[in-house]
Structure 1
Amino acid sequence: GEAEHDEVEPERGDDLLERLFDPYTGADLGDAMSPVMRTLTWLARLHDDLLLGETGRRLNGIGSALVGLVVVTGVITWWPTWLSRRRSGRLRPSAVRSTNAAVHRQLGVWGLGLMLVWVVSGIYLAFPEPFDEAAWVVSGDDLSGIGYQALTWLTYLHFGRFSAAVQIVWVVVGVLPAVLVVAGVGMWWTRKVRRSVVRTPAGAARQWAGPLWTARATSVVLVGVGCGAWALYTWANYREEQQVERFLGAVASGQYRRAHAMWDGDEYRFERFLADWGPGGRYTTGGSDIEVIDSTTQGAAVTVYIKTAAPTPVALDVDKETMRLSYGPTDE
């Protein structure tokens, strides 16, 4: 049967307002999303493009490049010092200083690979064009070639979308940059205190304020960033997944014209659409449940994977600006 409400999306300029209306009385039923979902969607957009659209996405890419510069210069700074201490057999710095330095050094060394992966993938998601060109040089028009496969793996590595266990690890490890920043600030604070405080018993007690402050701040950051990372991961592609859910809902209720209107362009004609999604269609035959199972960001679009009657999941691309649907490269 028909849905008990219709969703209307009035637009004014770049503003989009989603409301629910009773299709029989026209009564306004309220927001299409709850305040919590709207807040999480806002946070996801803040992470994705700084709420500035394509300009924000480019700024994110520039920020990723700057983070890469910090990582590289950090390695350059650490490497000679580590070699020198190893060759001379000098003891580590005093405990007051090493509390912050050890955290920063150990996490920086062990997290170097992941940091570089996030840097490169962050640049790719903001500036996909040069990466796509490089993939074309390597693989030509073969979308299953090593060049395009490398880009797919780069995207998967950025989000950790291999399994639920890996995703949980990625959420936890995602606080690594924040902890490095806090530890780095703690190292700077310790040096400042060591220079300014007279070395007396009272002064020595004050010197421990740096490590103590760092430990407390790190705990707060770990909890806060961990919750934020979980929310961002869970709802990063919420708008796009909801668009696909709306499409599937229209198909399930037999509103094929409405479902077809969500697709991008005129090439996907209604007759072909019915062959795929209509009664007894390629993806609907057999009566199996059709549901969203995963999603991943692909530059200016989000690829949403859905389970259908087909033997493999169907990939649908959702344009982030227009919210129009199209088939992913493997399902065209």
Structure 2
Amino acid sequence: MPGLTPANTAAAPDCFLELTGPSLHLSDTDARGELTDEVHNPFGQSFKRWITRDAAGAHVHLLYAQGSEFVRFDLAPRGERIRMRRSATVTLEEATTLLLGPVLGQVLRLRNVTCLHANAVAVNGRAILLAGHTGAGKSSTTVMLARMGCPVVTDDIAALVEETGGLHVLPGLPRLRLRADLVARYWTPAALEPVWPGRETLPDKRFLSLDRAGLAAAMHPLPIAAVYLLGPRDPGRTLPRVVPLHAATGLLALLPHTYARWALDQAGEAREFAVLGRLAASVPVRQLERPDGLDTLTATCELLLQDAAGLVS
């Protein structure tokens, strides 16, 4: 499948993917069950999430659609099996983009893995998390830090796990998803794979392979050194600033950046709150205030690295 390489391991797989032929019609994908989410964006796309229940537990269904085109994913209760179906005009590459991003992110949540909507880079062998909502500039900040020599740990979804020495972040796919105008500052956009090929109504984003771009990628879980929260850019600000947060404030600031929190039951929410509480109590949580514009990105990243150097030395 696009974006995946064969695993060099004899370990038994813990997730099975079933692909069906592109033969269904959108009318066959009506949500029959408990509708938990329905979103429409300005680009004519829609997203539905619903749940059906049987003796095995709660099955999650995800539907991404644009007009009569769609991709549907059906997830078993623990994410141990995924069925993917798509309409005839949706390519396997497009469907795989969804699978390797938000769908597998939801599988992690079904397995009670705490995830933040965050990127991460490595500084002196420890992970620096960059948390923020969509459009906050996580990927643009990450690519600049990567150009400054920081290995990339993950893009968009930071999965947290308990290991010796505290909370660690798992490495993601060795690629970044970037706006074409940012790519054009350093690379030739036409040489990079578009996220949505042929979709002129969608934002022009490109996949940047870290290896092909000569950028480093972290290959193993790394202990977390700090979390930087990327809020809205301030057009009236001329210089970036790092604002430390107290542990309790940091915990409250982290909560809006959890990923797919809808998947948690009451016990899961309690577990996640405890994990984030340990994170906020054990590592610094900072607010990163930034000017607007790509021309200020270098200064922002230089300040971030200067601040982080005192945490990982």
Q: Would you call these one fold, judging by a TM-score over 0.5?
A: no
- Range class of TM-score, shorter chain: under 0.3
More helix by share: 1
More strand by share: 2
The alignment's TM-score, normalised by the length of structure 2, stands at: 0.23
The alignment's TM-score, normalised by the length of structure 1, stands at: 0.22
Structure whose alpha-carbon radius of gyration is higher: 1
Q: Which has the higher contact order (CA 8 A, sep 6+)?
A: 2
